[in-house]
Amino acid sequence: MSELQTIDARNRETEEQVRFPVAEELGSRFAQAGHQLYLVGGTVRDALLGRLGNDFDFATDARPERVRELLTGWADAIWDTGIAFGTMGASKRGATVEITTFRTDAYDRMSRNPEVRFGSSIEEDLVRRDFTVNAMAIDLATRKLVDPHDGRAALRKRILDTPATPQESFNDDPLRMMRAVRFVSQLGFDVAPRVLDAIGDMAGQLERITAERVQVELSKLLCGRFPRRGLELMVDTGLAEIVLPEVPAMRLEIDEHHQHKDVYQHSLVVLDQAVDLEEPDTEPDLVLRLAALLHDIGKPATRRFVEGGGVSFHHHEVVGAKMVRKRLRALRYSKDVIEEVAQLVYLHLRFHGYGKGEWTDSAVRRYVTDAGPLLPRLHKLVRADCTTRNRRKAAALQRTYDDLETRISRIAAEEDLARVRPDLDGNEIMRLLGLPPGPLVGRAWRYLKELRLDRGPLEHDDAIAELRKWAENEGITPTGD
């Protein structure tokens, strides 16, 4: 049985079986035109692991314009956004394909992009790839595996190694160091000792790479199956000092007189527990995972030793939220991601004032209102932040949070907490007080919202009376209805 048939048989047990005919059709089309076509890279790796997706990568001796001609009339859609790098893209029956002309790229090792050079053989193409597990191909004409760098053996051993020396590979593209730790997170692989040594020696080269490209790899790492393993490798090799220096900074020295949790290890445990709290069969939650990892990054800056022993981290959530915004902006995350992660970091300690249920309904409303649409994530973050080894204490904390969630559900059912607004809208405020649009209307609106949070919904007449009382205190003489 050929390599392609072996992989296809494995995938016939799943819903993936319709996808290999796409590769076979393309192989026949290219062969009839006198061209070679290979399945390559991550497509082959994932297929051998039994986790083939809906995207296919191919390599060919045909030049891009010729590839376009061969795709025309076969593909449902064609795009050429990668043509400068020799790549044409297409879709067919829900599958996405990218076909790249054989390349033998050259790097000047100063710029961030290679000088694209087309090659003449699959072997030349494979040697330029990042890791041996990604340097395999399947010849669609013969159905045979092309594996000049023993990638399949590395796949069996679950080891990441480079086709060339790691020094050559990382000098060509330092981002490959981040790809290594990303694959550790996604695939659970180990890194070959020589690769590990090279990353440790060359981590500083990552500064040659744009923040946007680094951020993409970091996000993929965080959304992998084993994010903690990837992050630990980043810290151990020095990559984190370039990408997320606040994370290794959490490894605070702890002496026998000032005991507190190892903040770094605690944060990794919180990340693990947050991942476990994600709903099954859903996409990984990047915002939650970033918040879990970074929720305590304000602790090193706020640590104070207390006279007589002990240590404090007052307002570390406030400092941490500011640090999160600064770091995630530097990594070019979107504004929405930055604000959501920062708000979760800012709010993660709020629950600890709940005690044994001493909060008033007003405090519960404020908790919900301040969290807004982040409330489900905040629930997970707070629960994940319970890392005490004392089982009784841990169980008590979880019961207390259960009680808070029950109260939130009760009040939400009674008052529609998802949309807490004043009992009078802006138009009514202007009508009742005889005010034109402007700052005074906004102040009145905010006053009524605070009242709504404190006391819950008011009867309409009571809300009007409170508005008039506020206006009197502000020296405003109502001239409206």
Of 379, 397, 419, which marks where a domain is finished?
419
Specify the DSSP class assigned to residue 391.
H
Same domain, 456 and 361: no
266 vs 261: CA distance, rounded Å: 7
Tell whether 478 is covered by a domain: no
Q: Which domain holds residue 134?
A: 1-156
Q: Is residue 358 part of a domain?
A: yes
Residue 481 lies in a domain: no
Q: Compute the chain's Rg from CA coordinates.
A: 29
What confidence score (pLDDT) does residue 169 get?
93
Whichever domain contains 23, its CATH number is 3.30.460.10
Residue 279 lies in a domain: yes
Residue type, 169: S
Report the side by side order of strands in the sheet with 77-79: 77-79, 87-92, 95-101, 55-60, 37-40, 137-139, 144-146
User: What's the pLDDT score for residue 160?
Assistant: 97
Same domain (yes/no): 232, 285 = no
How would you classify the pairing of strands 55-60 and 95-101? Answer: parallel
**Based on the domain organization, do 35 and 14 belong to the same domain?**
yes
Give pTM, 2 decimals: 0.81
Among candidate residues 156, 189, 218, the one where a domain is terminated? 156
Tokens describing residue 207:
């500064």
Residue 300 lies in a domain: yes
Residues 130 and 162 in one domain: no
- Total domains present in the chain: 4
Residue 258: predicted pLDDT: 47
Q: Are residues 147 and 187 in the same domain?
A: no
The answer to the question of residue 479 being in a domain is no
- CATH classification of the domain holding 263: 1.10.3210
404 in the same domain as 269: yes
Q: Which residue has the tokens 């923040």?
A: 211
133 in the same domain as 19: yes
Q: Which of 180, 176, 149, 153 is nearest to 163 (CA)?
A: 149
Both 227 and 334 in one domain: the answer is no
List residues bridging with 98 in a β-sheet: 57, 89
C-alpha distances out from residue 325 to 102, 138, 289, 302, Å: 42, 45, 15, 17
Q: Residue 273 corresponds to which tokens in the numbers above?
A: 């527990």
Query: Same domain, yes or no, for 175 and 302?
Result: no
Q: Are residues 256 and 191 in the same domain?
A: no
The answer on 224 and 336 residing in a single domain is no
Per-residue pLDDT of the chain (481 residues; tens, 9 = 90+): 455 555 444 444 333 333 468 899 999 999 999 999 999 999 999 999 988 888 999 999 999 999 999 999 999 999 999 998 899 999 999 999 999 999 876 555 555 556 667 888 999 999 989 999 999 999 999 999 999 999 999 999 999 999 999 999 999 899 999 999 999 999 999 999 999 999 999 999 999 999 999 999 999 999 999 999 999 999 999 999 999 999 999 997 554 444 556 899 999 999 999 999 999 989 999 999 999 999 999 998 888 877 766 777 888 999 999 999 999 999 999 999 999 999 999 999 998 878 777 888 888 888 988 898 999 999 999 999 988 778 888 888 889 899 999 998 888 776 665 556 776 788 888 888 888 888 888 888 888 888 777 777 778 888 888 888 888 888 887 776 6
Last residue of a domain, one of 204, 221, 243: 243
Q: Are residues 110 and 174 in the same domain?
A: no
- Structural domain includes residue 195: yes
Q: Which residues pair with 60 in a beta bridge?
A: 37, 101
Q: What is the predicted pLDDT for the residue at 384?
A: 95
Residue 255 is predicted with a pLDDT of 44
Tell me, what amino acid is at 316? H
Q: With contact defined as beta carbons under 8 Å apart, do 364 and 453 qualify?
A: no
Provide CB contacts within 8 A for 319, sequence distance 6+: 298, 301, 302
CATH of residue 200's domain is: 1.10.110.30
- What is the model's pLDDT at position 438? 85
- The Cα 227–Cα 181 span in angstroms is 9
Q: Is residue 276 part of a domain?
A: yes
